[in-house]
Homo-oligomer: A and B are copies of this chain.
Amino acid sequence: MNPVKVAVNGYGVIGKRVADAVRMQDDMALVGVADVINDYRIRTAVLLGIPVFAATPDSASSLRNAGTPVAGDLDEMLEQADIVVDCTPKKVASGNKQRYEAAGVKAIFQGGESHALTGHSFVAQSNYASAIGRDCTRVVSCNTTSILRTLGALKNAGLLKRARGTLIRRASDPWEGHQEGIMNTVVPETSIPSHQGPDARTVDPDLDVVTIAVKASHNSSHLHTWWVEMTREATREDVLAAFRAAPRIARIRAGDGIAALNSTIELMADLGRPRGDMWEVALWEDVLTVDGNQLYYCYQVFNQAIVIPETVDAIRALSGIERDAAQSIAKTDRALGMVSDFLDAPQRGGAV
């Protein structure tokens, strides 16, 4: 089977990781990436050997003036592609949809866009089948993805009644820390519920989930604290088994010295992960507490990378090259080197 030809529009935090991940799949080929920027960020794509397309005429000339080889314009990139992953900023993305349709390429949007844009929102383990052959879908945002992975695990085990979470969000991404950020404060979102609960229901309408979100003075990743009312009294082991049975949740332990958000960041670097990325939800196994039908736990969401595996799966679903969710998930996870326990399991395919 010919590899699916994938184009990435927008070479930012998500786009560059999608490009990396596509290049790691044996059933996909990266056509190139497009952007409007002209600085060090896009120039690293050139150094990595990725064809760079100019998303606008202006950017084409400024790229060329900077000595950056330009492979063509956005339309030329789309011509070569079967599917485009749109990783442009919020207000830009929705405006691109018609252009993708006109070019006859399927499109994947990111979680910053509204469900209405695509009429379909995607989390591989929840609703892969419903995306097969569609023209477009939306991979939900980092926090929502983590909610569907974890509450999905509890639901599949028949344990989930309702869930209430507090999301302690990072204030900005590291690369933009010199211009965007907050200082020595915590900022509560003014609306409760925050958007993640309703957003999760665009994928699984049955979830009884409410979230409160705040922004804290760090920039590495998110931390969630959860209270779950279970359908019945259960043991810690019941709950851990439910999480173990689900994909893309990796257990960590404070007892191993993984004491905080910064610990896993160091751990990913130690494990040689590209860009230090953690695609898994990192769930503190030894913090998780069960009291009758009450369950409490917290986990970390590495917002820059967590949706990458779902995006790879979405490419398979839309293109139809793989019709089985579990097969696609397994293939993606193997290619990226994902694990269910960072310390106990062998880390990467044949690498060790």
Interface string of A182-223 (1 = CB under 8 A from B): 111111111111000000000000000010101111111001
A262 within 8 A of B: yes
Partner of A187, one of B191, B192, B259, B270: B259
Specify which of A192, A214, A256, A288 lies most central, judged by the most chain B CB atoms within 10 Å of its CB. A192
Query: CB of A72 within 8 A of chain B?
Result: no
In the complex with contacts A168-B186, A298-B212, A262-B220 CB distance below 8 A: no
Measured in the bound complex, the distance between the Cα atoms of B179 and A254 in whole Å is 13
Chain B residue, CB-CB nearest to A348? B47
Counting chain A residues whose Cβ lies within 8 A of the other chain, the interface size class is: 35 or more
Residue from B48, B172, B263 in contact with A40 in the complex, judged by beta carbons closer than 8 Å: B263
Q: How far is the CA of A193 from the CA of B272 in the complex (A)?
A: 35
Q: Choose from B47, B175, B217, B286 the contact partner of A266 (Cβ within 8 Å).
A: B175
Name the CB-closest residue of B to A68: B343
Are A262 and B41 within 8 A (Cβ)?
A: no
Residue of B nearest to A296 (CB): B192
Contact, CB under 8 Å: B186 / A184? no
Q: Is A71 an interface residue (CB 8 A)?
A: no
Cβ of A168 and Cβ of B343 under 8 Å apart? no
Among B175, B189, B227, B265, point to the contact of A263 (Cβ < 8 A).
B175
Any B CB within 8 A of the CB of A261: yes
Whether A184 contacts B39 by the Cβ 8 Å rule is no
A203-252 interface with B by 8 A CB criterion:
210, 212, 214-220, 223, 225, 227
Quick check: B212 and A223 within 8 Å, CB to CB?
no
- Residue A166 lies at the interface, judged by CB distance under 8 Å to chain B: yes
A259 to B180, CA, bound (A): 13
CB contacts (< 8 Å) of A177 on chain B: these are 182-185, 260, 262
Q: Does A284 have its Cβ within 8 Å of any Cβ on chain B? A: yes
Tell me the A256-306 residues at the B interface (CB within 8 Å): 256-263, 265-267, 269-272, 274-276, 284, 286-289, 291, 294, 296-298
Residues of B within 8 A of A260 (CB): 177-178, 182, 185-188
A10 to B258, CA, bound (A): 19
B178 touches A187 (CB 8 A): yes
| Contact (Cβ within 8 A) B186 A182 | no
- 6 pairs, A vs B, C-beta closer than 8 Å: A40-B342, A41-B257, A184-B220, A184-B262, A188-B225, A190-B286
Other than the given A174-B265, A185-B218, 13 more pairs (CB < 8 A) read A44-B270, A48-B272, A49-B352, A164-B164, A174-B184, A175-B266, A178-B259, A181-B183, A183-B183, A183-B262, A190-B259, A191-B287, A192-B297
